[in-house]
Amino acid sequence: MTDHAPKPRYIVVEGPIGVGKTSLAELLAERLQARKSLEGPDENPFIAQFYTDMRRYAFQAQLYFLLNRFRQQQELVQFDLFKQSLVSDYLFAKDKIFAYLTLDDNELALYERLQPLLETRVVKPDLVLYLQASTDVLVQRIQSRARSSERELGQDYLEDVNAAYNHFFFHYSATPLLVVNTNEIDFVKHKEDFEDLVKQVEAVRAGTHYYVSLGSRK
């Protein structure tokens, strides 16, 4: 870390379903007076059907996410990061996590012909925050927010998603990365934890770093 390099202007908050990435992205955008770019997964017309019959609707749901994320990313190309910072609740490259988890071989072969062509035209963030949580914690958070589209999500699927995210970000090196274990942290309810995270976000410049909570340092 160094104090001489510029602070990150384009920040992405990532993590598995239910980890709290959108809530944190909204807090960061407000705190940093940044523009928000939110994914809005419930806008996917196939998502509710996918959660009830994953094999049948995986390709439709995946293709919609891929193209919709790309459309949003193309809008970001025109955004002036020198005038205002940007905070997003998804990383375009993570689209592959769900593709490899849910598509069959033929669908994946088609996906792999399309996705790389799009990814080369996407702006990379200055920093990615990867939020981790145990699957039990994810289940609790998903149940507490009670989204109708997520009622059919099973523990086994969430276990697979969680493991796939951990594998993806363990090997991730495209941008600076700050890994945050959120099992015992609620940035929405505890302002002191959030302000401490902001300090670490603004300090990260290169490589992979791990957030150490205030409670762990006392």
First CA to last CA distance, the chain: 22
More confident site: 217 or 176:
176
Buried b (16+ CB within 10 A) or exposed e, 189-201: eeeebbebbeebb
Q: Would you call 128 helix, strand, or coil by DSSP?
A: strand
So what's the pLDDT on residue 23? 93
Q: What is the pTM of this model?
A: 0.90
Residue 205 pLDDT greater than 90, yes or no? no
Question: For the residues 49-75, what does the mean pLDDT come to?
Answer: 92
- The rounded distance, in Å, linking the Cα atoms of 103 and 66 is 13
Q: 73's torsion region: left (phi>0), alpha (psi -120 to 50) or beta?
A: alpha
Specify whether the CB–CB gap between 88 and 13 falls below 8 A. yes
Residue 45 pLDDT greater than 50, yes or no? yes
More confident site: 179 or 187:
179
So what's the pLDDT on residue 3? 52
Bridge partners for 109 per DSSP? none
> Which residue ranges form the domains of the chain, and what is each CATH number?
10-217 (3.40.50.300)
Mean pLDDT of the chain: 89
DSSP letter assigned to residue 124: P
Indicate the pLDDT class of residue 2, thresholds 50, 70 and 90.
very low
So what's the pLDDT on residue 190? 84
Q: At what angle do helices 191-203 and 21-32 cross, to 10 degrees?
A: 70
> 56-67 pLDDT, tens per residue?
999 999 999 999
Choose among 167, 65, 161, 55: nearest CA to 114. 65
- Give backbone dihedrals phi and psi of 155, rounded to 5 degrees, phi first: -60, -40
> 107-166 pLDDT, tens per residue?
999 999 999 999 999 989 999 999 999 999 999 998 888 776 677 778 899 999 999 999
